[in-house]
Amino acid sequence: MNHKIEVKNLYKIFGHQPERGIKMIEEGRSKDDIMLETKLGVGVANASFYVKEGEILVVMGLSGSGKSTLVRCINRLIDPTAGQVIVDGTDVVTLDEEGLRKFRQKHFGMVFQNFALFPHRTVVQNAEYGLEIQGMDPEERKEKAMQSLEQVGLKGWEDSYPSQLSGGMQQRVGLARALALDADIMLMDEAFSALDPLIRRDMQDELLSLQDKVQKTIVFISHDLDEALKLGDRIVLMKDGFIVQEGTAEEILTAPANDYVAKFVEEVDMSKVLTAESVMIKPVAQAHSETDGPRAALRKMEHAGISSIFVRKEKKLFGIVTATDAAEAAERGERSLEKIMIQNFHRVSPDTSANDLFPLLAETSFPLAVVDENDRLKGVIIKGSLLAKLSEKRLKEKELI
């Protein structure tokens, strides 16, 4: 997968002669030390990371961590002090004013925390504002705005005014405005933070649903860990302008880089974060419908110490056979597994949340089959292995803390 954005050794130091701050950071001085000694504010300190095309990267941290400064450096709403921001091979930092304006129009859409809607404009007029600035023909821009409003579920509200909309609907207008630009990158700065919890969750679901359709590259700023875990394909965690850890939710939660990260994530319910792939075990044995009969399947089960076995056909998962059924079929002299094959069992994808596995395990006596997009068996989950993995993670957390 291509890297849509590459940020390399990025600094933003606020104040007179900011280069002094860079030198002090390189010497290992802290943000507070630099402010005390020089009155320079460290916004971003030597940040390097990438964003893959079509993924949601969440940049998170507490207030003052530098996350909003970082996202504004990407489209140069704030000019970096040093470093590179490479988008599709172009270093945005080197662009002149005209080049930057054109580059933003092509590549960047932005959604802000406070909606930033014009109260005197209708919903559709707000949605088409960016296209109006670009000088697009009125009919064409209205058509694009209407399409984006439909994408975010606001069809029929186009002639309303922002004051007539709920907070969640107003944020949808901001999202539609960014989508109307048809930019390939969306920068979302605390986009849902001003919403109440229920509407916020709805908007998170809406964004994920929308992303399945439009596949934008999204940099999402948040201070909320639960939001980051829900939305992010990967997470960048910041503190005092520095990136302290980067990785998937599971990597950050199960292997915190330091005490700060461990403290940050200690309250998370691991069952909501771990996936089927991380808790599954490799199948100790499999039967093959083309070559194995009841006796062969039974022998494999006896050797592996299991009471049922998954059966493959042409490399795909075909069914499951129990030891009891195999023994009875062997007594009858049957040579095929076809008649005793059970096909009513649970298949789950590798990214299924561990929290969603418990009810499936509770209603079946069979292991869960973890399969890929081609229905090939990747692993199996039994209740004991799931509970063991969760216990193991919790013990590691306690050791770190």
* Average pLDDT for the chain: 87
The whole-number pLDDT of residue 395 equals: 47
pLDDT tens for 134-170 read 888 888 989 989 988 988 888 889 999 988 988 888 8
The whole-number pLDDT of residue 212 equals: 87
pLDDT tens for 231-275 read 899 999 999 999 999 998 878 887 888 888 888 887 666 666 678
Q: What's the CATH fold of domain 277-388? A: CBS-domain (3.10.580)
CATH number of 3-270: 3.40.50.300
More confident: 296 or 190: 296
pTM confidence score: 0.69
The whole-number pLDDT of residue 20 equals: 94
The whole-number pLDDT of residue 391 equals: 55
The whole-number pLDDT of residue 196 equals: 81
> Lowest-confidence range among 21-25, 39-43, 347-351, 382-386?
382-386
3-state per-residue secondary structure call for the chain: CCEEEEEEEEEEEECCCCHHHHHHHHCCCCHHHHHHHHCCEEEEEEEEEEEECCCEEEEECCCCCCHHHHHHHHCCCCCCCEEEEEECCEEHHHCCHHHHHHHHHHHEEEECCCCCCCCCCCHHHHHCHHHHHCCCCHHHHHHHHHHHHHHCCCCCCCCCCHHHCCHHHHHHHHHHHHHHCCCCEEEEECCCCCCCHHHHHHHHHHHHHHHHHHCCEEEEEECCHHHHHHHCCEEEEEECCEEEEEECHHHHHHCCCCHHHHHHHCCCCHHHCCEHHHHCECCCCEEECCCCCHHHHHHHHHHHCCCEEEEEECCEEEEEEEHHHHHHHHHCCCCCCHHHCECCCCEECCCCEHHHHHHHHHCCCCCEEEECCCCCEEEEECHHHHHHHHHHHHHHHHHHC
The whole-number pLDDT of residue 392 equals: 56
List the chain domain ranges.
3-270, 277-388
Q: What average pLDDT does the segment 62-79 reach?
A: 92
The whole-number pLDDT of residue 204 equals: 86
